Amino acid sequence: MKKTALIMAGGRGERFWPKSRQSLPKQFLNLTDDGKTMIQLTVERILPLVAMEDIYISTNRDYKALVQAQLPGIPEENILCEPMGKNTAPCIGLGAVHMKKKYGDAVMIVLPSDHLIKYTSIFLNTLSDAADVAEQGGDLVTVGITPTYPETGYGYIKFQPDSVRGRAFAVERFVEKPDLETAKDYLATEQYLWNSGMFIWKVSTILDNLNAFLPETCAGLRRIEEAIATPEEQAVLECEFAAFKSESIDYGVMEKAGSIYILSGSFGWDDVGSWLAVGRIKKSNEFGNVVSGNVVTVDTKNTIIQGDKKLIATVGVHNLIVVDTPDAMLICDAGSAGDIKKVIENLKICNRTQYL
Amino acid sequence: MKKTALIMAGGRGERFWPKSRQSLPKQFLNLTDDGKTMIQLTVERILPLVAMEDIYISTNRDYKALVQAQLPGIPEENILCEPMGKNTAPCIGLGAVHMKKKYGDAVMIVLPSDHLIKYTSIFLNTLSDAADVAEQGGDLVTVGITPTYPETGYGYIKFQPDSVRGRAFAVERFVEKPDLETAKDYLATEQYLWNSGMFIWKVSTILDNLNAFLPETCAGLRRIEEAIATPEEQAVLECEFAAFKSESIDYGVMEKAGSIYILSGSFGWDDVGSWLAVGRIKKSNEFGNVVSGNVVTVDTKNTIIQGDKKLIATVGVHNLIVVDTPDAMLICDAGSAGDIKKVIENLKICNRTQYL
């Protein structure tokens, strides 16, 4: 069966401010040393498994031009523009009806556009195994990440070690972000994986499940499907999306569905959740600094500096994140990277939209 | 006797980088809340005691235009431009011969151009008392600052408590910057004052002393005096300055002279020796921050931010100094303010003269 991919690129992430803005979210940023953006790396990574013309990008229509500029090989009709964000269930459903219209049925690989993966061949093998399970059993399949430490910022998925299909385990349940003690317990059992947001299923499977658990959304999706390539397509899309309930695929389908399988992945996954990730991804110098741009450091340690044209001189600072852009600069303690959103809240309150 | 002032403004201080540059030293910066530069405040402060036309500014010729722009009331002939810096002894000697030529003799008040004084009336009373001692006894007079803590960055002057003239004590000796233990001992004796670099004497007195202790310099100064207002003035100045030994007035005269008097001053003196001074001078907010410019602070404490046009957002940082300028930004731990010079050394080594 044909393999397709839906790369979800509608996020408006704020955790990479000031580099990321509402007009340039994280998936369109180059955060690595190789000069490619996150979404470019995501597409490139999947190409041995899915042909370029079978890759779909779902995004907000505000970002269509960015997608076209960064991914000139993706056919324009494969860029699915949501009129507004309604979380992942409508997003995935939109992808599914487009694929149904074109292919009848297919194995559909759903991927976030803004994660990094170190070991591509292992990643592709895992997806290939997942596709086999999805195609043969007609089940919902996901890839979980083998946890390496008790992270409290991710959801976890518990699997049943004695219920195996191919290289997959049956999922016992999805769990929300745990507290630290619970996360430690999860790790100790060796039966929990991190929820990576990667899904593999047949188009027919996910549409059946949407019909079962989100019937109103599914009815709307069918109306969108009928309008594809007609003069009414855009109007129907607008109308149905406006009516959709905002719902995640996890909550709307996965946590309710009966038969879900999971493959555990150990392929150097990183969700690049904050500027701290840059310290993990890029090579640091002998002082633990990751420095780019026009920078002079004196007695500076374990510091991430993303400089720009302006000369940045640091003296006697440790564990700092410094990010310069033409109009805004962030100076953040490494332990406070999660509080960058407070800057954005402040800017919103003050209506300083030019910086958002 | 007429009172004159010589304000020494030839310094090229590096401690306020990146605001201060070789082309714009500290004395020409506005570092306070009142919109005036250090040299403007220095002139304004002395005006009740010395008429504008009797105030002389000695500076490097590179800064003549800055002096004229910032102090339009100072007569052009009172701006004494040194062809090159030769420390304070030639600088003061140059002022003295100009004053001798114009006034015959006068009481000459020598002041740094880059210090702050909180209580101007007490300062002026102290200078007035000092002028009385200088005029009546024909002695070298200086003003020492009553120490408030064991500073190791200043020179100290020991006075003789039982040898009084007017409101002045006889100086026993000048001492170099002490270590911390010695500084604590100095404070405990209550017989040491900080060397402020302010001097009061008659023009004739300082020239006699220069003649006694730096005879070659004094001979050169006499040749400069003879050339004032002649077509050869500039050529003689260049020639003599090139030949002058670089010498401080402290080492060249004060530490050798027999009869020196000192008045103790408690007028809220601050030598504004580093960016930390801005934290003392300007009003801080409830978090101990001193902030100006385009700034958003989140969980930020005891931090000095001199913003410019670019938005600076700080998150979770403490005890930091952040100074933005159009082409360079400093991010410095408060405890490392003394190491800003290492940035400048680095820039010099790399020949990045545009930032110096």
Which residue, A104, A137, A123, A79, is CA-closest to A2?
A104
Which chain A residues are Cβ-neighbours of B343 within 8 angstroms? 296, 298, 313, 315
- For B331, which of A331, A343, A347 is closest by C-beta distance? A331
pLDDT band (50, 70, 90) for residue A33? confident
**Length of chain A in terms of residues written:** 356
SS (H, E, C) A201-268: EEHHHHHHHHHHHCHHHHHHHHHHHHHCCCCCHHHHHHHHHHHCCCCCHHHHHHCCCCCEEEEEECCC
Nearest one of B311, B317, B314 to A340, comparing CA atoms: B314
A40 or A15, higher pLDDT: A40
Number of H helices, E strands in chain B: 11, 17
| Summary mean pLDDT of chain A | 96
CA A157 – CA A175 distance, rounded (Å): 6
This prediction has a pTM of: 0.89
- Whether residues B298 and A330 touch (CB distance < 8 A) is answered with no
CA distances from B142 to A297, B96, B320 (A): 41, 16, 36
Q: Which two tokens stand for residue B201?
A: 């004497």
Cβ pair A313:B327 closer than 8 A: no
Size of interface A-B (CB pairs under 8 A): 120
Which phi and psi (to 5°) does residue A26 adopt?
-50, -40
Nearest CA in chain B to A320: B317
Which residues, numbered 261 to 320 in chain A, qualify as contacts with chain B under a Cβ-Cβ cut-off of 8 Å? Answer: 296, 298-299, 310-318, 320
Q: Are B327 and A312 within 8 A, CB to CB?
A: no
A86, B29, B221, B276 from B284: Cα distances, Å: 45, 20, 48, 12
Task: Name residue A17's amino acid.
Answer: W
Contacts made by residues A292-297, CB under 8 angstroms, sequence distance 24+: A293/A324, A296/B343, A296/B346, A296/B347
Q: What is the pLDDT of residue B73?
A: 97
**What are the tokens at B129?**
């008392």
ipTM of this complex prediction, to 2 decimal places: 0.88
Q: Nearest CA to A174 among A268, A253, A114?
A: A253
- Is residue A337 within 8 A of residue A321, CB to CB? The reply is yes
User: How many angstroms separate the CA atoms of A26 and A42, rounded?
Assistant: 13
Give Cβ neighbours of residue A13 (< 8 Å, ≥ 6 apart). A20, A25, A26, A27, A114
With CA atoms as reference, report the closest residue to B247 among B214, B223, B215. Answer: B214
- Identify which of B13, B50, B46 has the alpha carbon closest to the alpha carbon of residue B31: B13
Site from A331, A342, A345 to mutate, B interface, most B CB atoms within 10 angstroms: A331
Shortest CA distance to A95 belongs to which of A228, A195, A256?
A228
How much is the pLDDT for A243? 97
State which residue of chain A sits closest to B324, comparing Cα positions: A312
Which pLDDT does position B14 carry in this prediction? 86
Least confident of A74-88, B85-99, B269-283: B269-283
Q: Long-range CB contacts (< 8 A, 24+ apart) of A77-83?
A: A78/A53, A80/A56, A82/A10, A82/A58, A82/A241, A83/A237, A83/A238, A83/A241, A83/A242
User: Which pLDDT score is estimated for A249?
Assistant: 96
Greatest extent of chain B over all pairs of C-alpha atoms, in Å: 64
Kindly determine whether residue B329 and residue A315, on different chains, have CB atoms separated by under 8 Å.
no
| Tokens, residue A282 | 């890029």
Alpha carbons B265 and B147: distance in angstroms, whole number: 9
How do residues B12-61 score in pLDDT, each as one tens digit?
878 999 999 999 999 999 998 888 999 999 999 999 999 999 999 999 99
A298 to chain B, closest Cα gap in Å: 7
Average pLDDT on A21-39 reads: 93
The predicted model gives B295-314 an average pLDDT of 96
Interface list for A 310-349 with B (CB within 8 A): 310-318, 320, 322, 324, 326-333, 335-337, 339-340, 342-343, 346-347
Is B235 in the A-facing interface, judged by CB distances under 8 Å? no
Residue with more model confidence, A141 or B11: A141
CB A267 within 8 A of CB A122: yes
Which phi and psi angles does B14 have, rounded to 5°? Answer: -105, 0
The residue with greater pLDDT, A283 or B318, is B318
The confidence score (pLDDT) of residue A2 equals 97
CA distance A120 to chain B (A): 35
Answer whether residue B252 shows pLDDT above 90: yes
Q: Which residue has the tokens 């993706």?
A: A74
| Section A304-329 average pLDDT | 97
Q: Rounded to whole angstroms, how far apart are CA atoms A319 and A341?
A: 19
DSSP H or E stretch at residue B295? strand B295-298
Q: Which residue has the tokens 């680095």?
A: B346
Tokens of B106: 């006068």
DSSP annotation of B24 reads B
Rounded to an integer, what distance in angstroms lies between the CA atom of residue A216 and that of residue B154?
79
Neighbours of A145 (CB within 10 A): 24
Confidence band for A258, pLDDT divided at 50, 70 and 90: confident
Decide: A257 and A210 in contact? Cβ < 8 Å: no
Going A129 to A134 to A139 to A143, the CA torsion angle's sign is positive
Q: What mean pLDDT do residues A192-206 have?
A: 97
Report which secondary-structure segment, H or E, holds A349. helix A340-349
Instruction: Read off the pLDDT band of A14 (50, 70, 90).
Output: confident
Judge whether B10 and B82 are in contact, CB under 8 Å: yes
Q: Find residues 1-60 of chain A whose CB sits inside 8 Å of chain B.
A: 17-18
Furthest-apart CA atoms within chain A: distance in Å: 64
Q: What angle do CA A252, A255, A259 make, to 5 degrees?
A: 115
Query: Is it true that the peptide bond before A231 is cis, omega within 30 degrees of 0?
Result: no
Confidence class of residue A11 from pLDDT cuts 50, 70 and 90? confident
By the 8 A CB rule, do A110 and A8 touch? yes
- Residue B35 CA, chain-centre distance (Å), reads 19
Query: What span, in angstroms and rounded, lies between the C-alpha atoms of A121 and A111?
Result: 16
Backbone angles phi, psi at A302, to 5 degrees: 50, 45
Cα A138 from Cα A199, distance rounded (Å): 13
H helices within A138-202, ranges in order? 180-189
DSSP per-residue letters across A39-88: HHHHHHHHTTTS-GGGEEEEEEGGGHHHHHHH-TTS-GGGEEEESS---H
Would the pLDDT of A13 be above 80? no
In chain B the domains, ranked by start, together with CATH numbers, are 3-270 (3.90.550.10), 276-355 (no CATH)
Provide, rounded to the nearest whole percent, the portion of chain A with pLDDT above 70: 100
Amino acid at A285: N
Kindly state the tokens that stand for B33: 């809340």
**How many angstroms away from the CA of B314 is the closest CA of chain A?**
5
Say how far apart CA A96 and CA A207 lie, in whole Å.
7
Q: Give the Cα separation of B123 and B214 in Å (integer).
A: 31
